[in-house]
Amino acid sequence: MPSADRAPNTDYAIETRNVTKTFKGFTAVDDVSLKVRHGTIHALIGPNGAGKSTMFNLITKFLEPTSGSIHLDGRDITRDKPAQIARAGAVRSFQISSVFPNLTLLENIRVALQRRMGNSYHFWESQARLDVLNEDARRILAEVGLDDSESVLASELPYGRKRLLELATTLAMEPRVMLLDEPMAGMGTGDVARVANIIRKVSQGRTVLMVEHNLNVVADLSDRITVLQQGSVLAEGTYEEVSTNRQVRSAYMGESDD
């Protein structure tokens, strides 16, 4: 029987209710009510300093809100610790690199799989158990198209493929909710298209909240978009809706990273 904890009991995988975060009197996030529906790809966009990273930090509990509440599958997580959020199935990628440079790709995924299983290394002593882990690790590498490089050291990967490996270590945690912080940052066009395809594929059966500056990617992938400006929600809707919003257009004027 599935535990009540993991069963969705609202329409929303992630919901913030009137969340405000101030830093020494400066309001970085201002009364934000964000609703991310189960099984959707939802993008959080906005100019630099809009509060996107602060929102991610609030949702993953690396920051405490000054006021308001945060809910995961309808459960109030406002007072939970980051580790509890990860265990509840919400995993963040790309911000903090989860890749060990001196391990091979296969070893990196195995470490992530073992982390998911609670670090009970002794449990894996038997060769049969280790083989099962290898099978899982290879399947995950194949999901991101890195199965041709399982014996390569992570440090030897070019940048785009390193980010694919980060995505793979996140997948190894079997997240129900993935928070992707600028998955395309620093990537060339070829890698962007590739990562976009992979995000679309791995979003099946999952919820994805992503901060991304590349508006072509946002347009292509997102079911819904929330636009933040100076800590507040400026607009919310489909790409069609937000991209034709005049306030959104003016907020983006002069932005060079799009």
Ligand X SMILES: Nc1ncnc2c1ncn2[C@@H]1O[C@H](COP(=O)(O)OP(=O)(O)O)[C@@H](O)[C@H]1O
Cα 19 to Cα 7: distance, rounded to the nearest angstrom: 24
- For the CB of residue 165, give the shortest distance to ligand X in the complex, in Å: 24
Query: Of the listed pieces 20-28, 66-74, 79-87, 196-204, which binds ligand X according to CB under 6 A?
Result: 20-28
Beta strands in the chain (DSSP E): 12-23, 26-32, 35-37, 41-45, 67-72, 75-76, 90-93, 177-181, 207-211, 224-229, 232-237
Using CB under 6 A as the binding rule, whether residue 48 contacts ligand X is answered as: yes
- For the CB of residue 4, give the shortest distance to Mg ion in the complex, in Å: 34
- Cα dihedral 121, 82, 199, 39 in deg (nearest 10): 110
Using CB under 6 A as the binding rule, whether residue 49 contacts ligand X is answered as: yes
Choosing among Mg ion, ligand X, none, which partner's interface includes residue 50 (Cβ < 5 to 8 Å by kind)? ligand X
Cα 152 to Cα 163: distance, rounded to the nearest angstrom: 15
Using CB under 5 A as the binding rule, whether residue 57 contacts Mg ion is answered as: no
Which C-beta is closer to ligand X: that of 47 or that of 175?
47
- For the CB of residue 185, give the shortest distance to ligand X in the complex, in Å: 12
- For the CB of residue 223, give the shortest distance to ligand X in the complex, in Å: 21
Which C-beta is closer to ligand X: that of 10 or that of 97?
97
- Contact residue for Mg ion among 16, 20, 53, 207 (CB under 5 A): 53
Using CB under 6 A as the binding rule, whether residue 54 contacts ligand X is answered as: yes
Which C-beta is closer to ligand X: that of 15 or that of 212?
212
Cα 207 to Cα 14: distance, rounded to the nearest angstrom: 9
Choosing among ligand X, Mg ion, none, which partner's interface includes residue 48 (Cβ < 5 to 8 Å by kind)? ligand X
Tell me the CA distances in angstroms from 210 to 27, 60, 100, 125, 213, one per residue in order: 22, 13, 24, 38, 10
Q: What is the DSSP string of 62-112?
A: SS--SEEEEEETTEE-TT--HHHHHHTTEEEESSS----TTSBHHHHHHHH
Q: Under rule CB under 5 A, which residues in 120-139 are in contact with Mg ion?
A: none
Q: What is the DSSP string of 224-240?
A: EEEEEETTEEEEEE-HH
Using CB under 6 A as the binding rule, whether residue 28 contacts ligand X is answered as: yes
Which C-beta is closer to ligand X: that of 49 or that of 74?
49
Using CB under 6 A as the binding rule, whether residue 149 contacts ligand X is answered as: no
Query: Of the listed pieces 24-32, 50-58, 71-79, 126-134, which binds Mg ion according to CB under 5 A?
Result: 50-58
Q: In terms of residues, how long is the chain? A: 258
Using CB under 5 A as the binding rule, whether residue 54 contacts Mg ion is answered as: no
Count of residues near ligand X by CB under 6 A: 11
Those residues whose C-beta lies under 8 Å from the C-beta of residue 199, and which sit 6 or more positions away, are 41, 167, 180, 183, 208, 210, 221
Residues of this chain that bind ligand X (CB under 6 A): 23, 26, 28, 46, 48-54
Binding site for Mg ion (CB under 5 A): 52-53
